Amino acid sequence: MKKHQSITGILIITVGLFSCNPKAKKETEAITAAPQTEVAAEPSAPQISIEDIDAMRSEIESLEITPVEVTTSGLREKIKQKWSNLHFYVQNDKVVKVKTYPYPEISKRTEEFYANEDGLVLVVIEDNGEGTKGKSKNELDKMYYFHKGKLLEELKKNEKSEYTVKESDAEELLSEFNEYLEIYEQQKK
């Protein structure tokens, strides 16, 4: 019983000393407040808007960039079965757009991948990708908007398209884009 009373007494004296000592009180408050201050001071990541991505796409389409063409004959089976060639659009040594082309006897579907410094920001899928580039938003079949690896929004013009891409396939589109970037880097060597 005496041992319990002496520990309690020591605790009371310690608490009393800290509450009387302004320096110790400030240090204790600083230590306690530090984690809260760090969380509050952390800036939120800037969010890109759909309009910003649309403007970026329009800007890329207006550029006169000669694409780097890569045939798929030497690539892995899944890619060479699906696409006949890939076009890479590069500005300031960065890929800003990748367009995939099917075998003409199989399909007319194309996919366009647009990127900025944060990575993939837009995938445009056209069931009939022939014709002029830079079509307006309401002329396109499917659009997938991304920001830092996360799907922001999916727009579909027509539910009865030649191919369908499920919402869960956003990760696959990201993976495809990253593989295309690797293919481009290999072609540069």
Q: For residue 38, which phi and psi values (nearest 5 degrees)?
A: -60, -45
Same domain flag for 71 and 131: yes
Residues 54 and 34 in one domain: no
User: Same domain, yes or no, for 86 and 161?
Assistant: yes
Specify the pTM.
0.70
* 8-state DSSP, 167: G
30 with 122, same domain: the answer is: no
Domain count for the chain: 2
66 vs 94: CA distance, rounded Å: 14
Please tell me the distance from the alpha carbon of residue 145 to that of residue 147, in angstroms, as a whole number: 7
Which residues of the chain fall below pLDDT 50? 4, 8, 10-19, 24-42, 160-165
Host domain of residue 161: 50-188
145 in the same domain as 124: yes
3-state secondary structure of 181: helix
- For residue 19, give the H/E element and its range: helix 2-20
At 86-119, the pLDDT tens digits run 999 999 999 999 999 999 888 888 999 999 999 9
Measured between alpha carbons, how far is 174 from 123 in angstroms, rounded to an integer? 9
